[in-house]
Amino acid sequence: MLEHARLRLKWVFFPGLDLYTRGRYRFLPRFFIEGSVRTLDAGCGNGALAYAAYRRGNEVLGVTIDETQVKKADAFFSWLGARPERLRFQVLNLHDLHKLKTKFDQIICAETLEHIRDDKKIIRSFYDLLNEGGVLHLCCPNANHPAHRLGRVNDPEDGGHVRDGYTLQSYQQLLEPLGFRIEKTLGIGSPSLGFLDRPIRAARDHLGAIAALPLFLLAYPFILLLDYLNPPCPFSLYVLAKKEKRNA
């Protein structure tokens, strides 16, 4: 009974109290392919975007290095009634993507690539795993946002950010030589959303989710009004890139 109540509460506040995560869950799925396509969520976190792709009819595999996240996602989405043959989660280091023996029609990678030093290797793996004409949904911190502009360059790969993030120019420099064509770019996370998120994040980080909940409830009526696409200095940058044939 207690576990059922916990899962129900989790669903009420899904995908969580982080306002930037909620923004990505709100905006990014509208660009996902609809129908019975194969989708990989690389660095799936709590599984929110994997579930969003599942709800659009996709067959989805979410991978993360964190075994605890996989167990929680399996339990939560099973409780929601998700079909396990269409929504699966697996422990996998993104450096080992070559171990996957299937091709995908689209790959989602949100707020993950900035944690990995050899980002070119990961993008190359994405290219190899995609079917011809497949789509990559890539979302990372905006390197020019004040919260990210710390001068990090190839920091140790210890779970934190190894770089400040990306700009549209650095996305192009990374993606296009490896065979991707950028078709859409968006800025996500408005300054107003950051104003609301900071006290909630501070309370959650220092006191826990229960302490942050009242602040979240106070902010919630304003979230939909203050969160919008392409603000002047977005928190994150999203690109939709399509796989092209590499030149021989």
| pTM metric for this prediction | 0.95
* Number of domains comprising the chain: 1
Give domain status of residue 248, yes or no: no
DSSP 20-67: HHHHHHHHGGGGSPPSS-EEEEET-TTSHHHHHHHHTT-EEEEEES-H
The residue segments making up the domain with residue 214 are 2-243
How do the pLDDT tens digits run along the chain, 248 residues long? 778 788 898 889 999 999 999 999 999 999 999 999 999 999 999 999 999 999 999 999 999 999 999 999 999 999 999 999 999 999 999 999 999 989 999 999 999 999 999 999 999 999 999 999 999 999 999 999 999 998 888 888 888 999 999 999 999 999 999 999 999 999 999 999 999 999 999 999 999 999 999 999 999 988 888 889 999 999 999 999 999 876 54
Residue 49 lies in a domain: yes
Query: Which domain CATH number covers 52?
Result: 3.40.50.150
